[in-house]
Structure 1
């Protein structure tokens, strides 16, 4: 049976993803998806989406805010756009989204069912059920505003939906996965992301089975008006098996990335693997002067997103060190590096489609090497690493929602001279 796998606290952030980043996120998200499908299959990709730690890391490696609620919207939107032209080839389809796109999910699933010859009505019912469970059966103070439905050609599905609590300025993300799901109303979640805040009503808890039965009995025997009178007579039911302790991901309120948010030894392993394995594995791919060596570092982090085991995503902030963040945290997005990362992986995937898998295996070796080296690797402190990235940002095409880093640096220099 699918079970809740963890929780996280996601600060609510406003704003939009700028067009220069949204297009790149769609491209990078699509090629990471294809790489996972190439190595492990499409069902494995949907399993990753249902894991809250991996999902957060996936968004961070694409240059989105590493900790905010906006990662959910931007990742679903990027995949919907990026996979659109490849969906039949990969057998992965993305429906729904935020707001009005969320409400179109049933219609999209019905059309998809007709196209693929699968039970569109069943998929539509599933979409409505999971939304009802997370808005009615689980009453935790978060109002749903986003619903993303991922489905494969063979009927496997993952749902990622999110609610907000405006009073607390927090969001909660709910993950579902069809694998092993036997009930929509008894412990159905693969994960619920969001910091616990006081008592909630959770009728999907296994211990709530007597309560669900009692409600149906009351409704049948007494009618809805009588339920109000009987409500006071209902006692707490604390029976049934206890749920195990679950991993709890707390995304902090601070916007900047700090050393405490990152497992430094894993960062050092990535840097060491890039230095040792990169020149040997990528001599013909790294053709852009000045950014090749830095690109291998990003490739190593992307490779970990493709190949890493679940335990390796306990520090999603680390993956923001691949391509920075749109709000300049931990540093502006280095577009030259970002574009080179896309080019290298695209080249590897194109050759893999023709049966030449050497470059895809080279990317996998980067991840293997990083894990071997992290126990003994040494490197710069986190603060030194970020400082070096910020210093190099103008030369690497650094850009954020505040503009090009080169222009910002020139303006700052001019201001200094006028003082």
Structure 2
């Protein structure tokens, strides 16, 4: 059986992803997926997408707003664009999206079914039912507005959908995974993200099985008017309900800036130390390339963790925003040169691996392994100092944000 894996708060943000970032997210997202499928297979990719902590970290390493609800829309959009030309090779298909695109999901699934020989009509029914459970059976105050359905050639799938509560300016993301599902109305979620806000009606909980049956009995015996009279009588006798037990959850704060408390420092120092240790040994050719140096290897260390890291290592998604910055200039502007070199290195490694030469993908794996080995003892700059240093150097890396191209630093300006 699937189980609820955790919860997290997602501030509800508007706005659009600029084209210069969206294009890069498409490329980096696709090549990371290729690496995961090559190393671990399609089933593992689906498990990662169903994990709310990994999903948020994945969006952060791609330069989106690290704490925002917008990660859901932008990541699914990037994967839909980037994996479309690779669907025949990888056997992965991304359907749905936001608004009208979500309503087209059953039609898209039917088309996938015709191409690869799976029952797309049945998958369309699954899509509708999953959306209905999270909009009607789980009454938590969030209205669904996004529905993404990722399906493999063998019919296995993951659903990522999101609802909003406009009054609270919050979003909640729901993750479903077909692996192990035996019922759509008996604790089916892989995870639900969102702050606990008191008692909610969750008829999809396995403990609600008796309630579901009794509701049908009441409807048959009392009729709608009788149920209203019964509810009125019970409300008059109602006593406060006990607080729900808390599940492990990730809290995405409202503040835009990345702060020290948002990052597990020992993991960050492990990333930095691994880049310094393995970079000269494994990326000597890369480091000789003009304008490519240690900064790119540092970004690759975090990309490596997204590909190879264990689930427990994604409790601090803010750390992954230190790879390629953020479109809103938090923690610092997106370093375009570094981002493009990260894409190039990953793409070259994946292409070579497909041809049987795995040396470069192996080097990226060693970055992640070395970070775990070194983080116990590694030391390094504070989060504040690292961010100040990146902002000071941003112009030299082609720094860019929604506010424009980053200007050169003022002469004599301190780095923090």
TM superposition score category, shorter chain reference: over 0.9
Q: Secondary structure at the match of 1:73?
A: helix
3-state SS in 1 of match to 2:84 = coil
Counterpart Cα distance in 2 of 1:340 and 1:259: 27
Instruction: Decide whether aligned partners of structure 1 residues 359 and 225 sit closer, same or farther in structure 2, where only a CA change above 3 A counts.
Output: same
- Secondary structure of 2:258's aligned partner: coil
Q: Which runs of 4+ in 1 moved over 4 A?
A: 232-236, 242-245
Deviations 1:170-192 (A, max 9, x none): 00000000111111101110000
Residues of 1 paired with 2:107 and 2:197: CA distance? 35
Cα distance in 2, alignment partners of residues 103 and 367 from structure 1: 39
Instruction: Report if aligned partners of 2:199, 2:244 keep a CA contact under 8 Å in 1.
Output: no
Query: C-alpha separation between the residues in 1 aligned to 2:404 and 2:323?
Result: 19
Partner of 1:188: 188
Partner of 2:335: 334
Give the deviation of 1:200 after TM superposition.
1.2
Alignment of 1:111-130 (within 5 A): 111-130=111-130
Tell which deviates more after alignment, 305-314 or 211-220.
211-220
Residue 389 (structure 2) aligns with = 388
**Deviations for 1:234-253, whole angstroms, at most 9, x for unmatched residues?**
799xxxxx997532100001
Structure 1's unaligned 5+ residue stretches are 237-241
Stretches of structure 2 lacking an aligned partner (at least 5 in a row)? 238-242
- Residue 83 of structure 1 aligns to a residue whose secondary structure is helix
Residue in 2 that maps onto 1:78: 78
- The corresponding residue for 2:354 is 353
1:54-93 mapped onto 2 (5 Å cutoff):
54-93=54-93
* Displacement of 1:225: 4.1
Could you say what secondary structure the match of 1:84 adopts?
Answer: helix
Segment of structure 1 superposing worse, 101-110 or 290-299 = 290-299
**Where does residue 104 of structure 1 map in the other structure?**
104
- Name 1:280's counterpart in structure 2: 281
Q: Residues of 2 paired with 1:169 and 1:222: CA distance?
A: 39
Deviations 1:33-73 (A, max 9, x none): 00000100011001000000000000000000000100000
8 A contact 2:198–2:244 mirrored in 1 = no
After superposing the two structures, state which structure 1 stretch, 218-227 or 98-107, moved more: 218-227
Shift in alpha-carbon separation, 1:42–1:243, aligned structure 2, 3 A: farther
Work out the number of aligned pairs and report it: 408
1:36 corresponds in structure 2 to 36
The correspondence of residues 196-215 of structure 1 with structure 2, limited to 5 A, is 196-215=196-215
Normalised by the length of structure 1, the TM-score is 0.94
> Quick check: 2:143–2:165 contact (8 Å CA) kept in 1?
yes
- Length-normalised TM-score, structure 2: 0.94
Aligned-residue RMSD, C-alpha: 2.0
Cα distance per residue 1:341-399 (max 9 Å; x no partner): 00001110111010001110110000000000000011111111111111110000000
What does residue range 7-46 of structure 1 map to in structure 2 within 5 Å? 7-46=7-46
In structure 2, what is the equivalent of residue 239 of structure 1? none
Per-residue deviation, 1:231? 3.5
**What is the match of residue 307 of structure 1?**
308
The more displaced of 115-124 and 302-311 is 115-124
SS at 2:345 equivalent: helix
Task: Give deviations 1:199-220, integer Å, cap 9, x for gaps.
Answer: 2111112221111001122233
1:172 matched to 2:158? The reply is: no
Which residue is equivalent to 1:217?
217
Q: Is the 8 A contact 1:291 1:396 kept in 2?
A: no
Q: Which residue of 2 is the match for residue 317 of structure 1?
A: 318
Aligned partners of 2:80 and 2:232: how far apart in 1? 47
Question: Aligned-pair distance for 1:222?
Answer: 4.1
- Structure-1 separation of matches of 2:389 and 2:336: 16
- Name which of structure 1's ranges 3-12 and 112-121 shifts more when overlaid on structure 2: 112-121
What secondary structure is seen at the aligned counterpart in 2 of 1:284? helix
Q: Distance in 2 between matches of 1:234 and 1:360?
A: 63
The 5 Å alignment of 1:374-385 reads: 374-385=375-386
Q: Which deviates further from its counterpart, 24-33 or 208-217?
A: 208-217
Partners of 2:300 and 2:7 in 1: CA distance: 28
The 2-side partners of 1:132 and 1:190 are apart by 16
In structure 1, the residue matched to 2:240 is none
Question: Corresponding residue for 1:149?
Answer: 149
C-alpha distance in structure 1 between counterparts of 2:304 and 2:109, whole Å: 32
* 3-state SS, counterpart of residue 328 of structure 1: coil
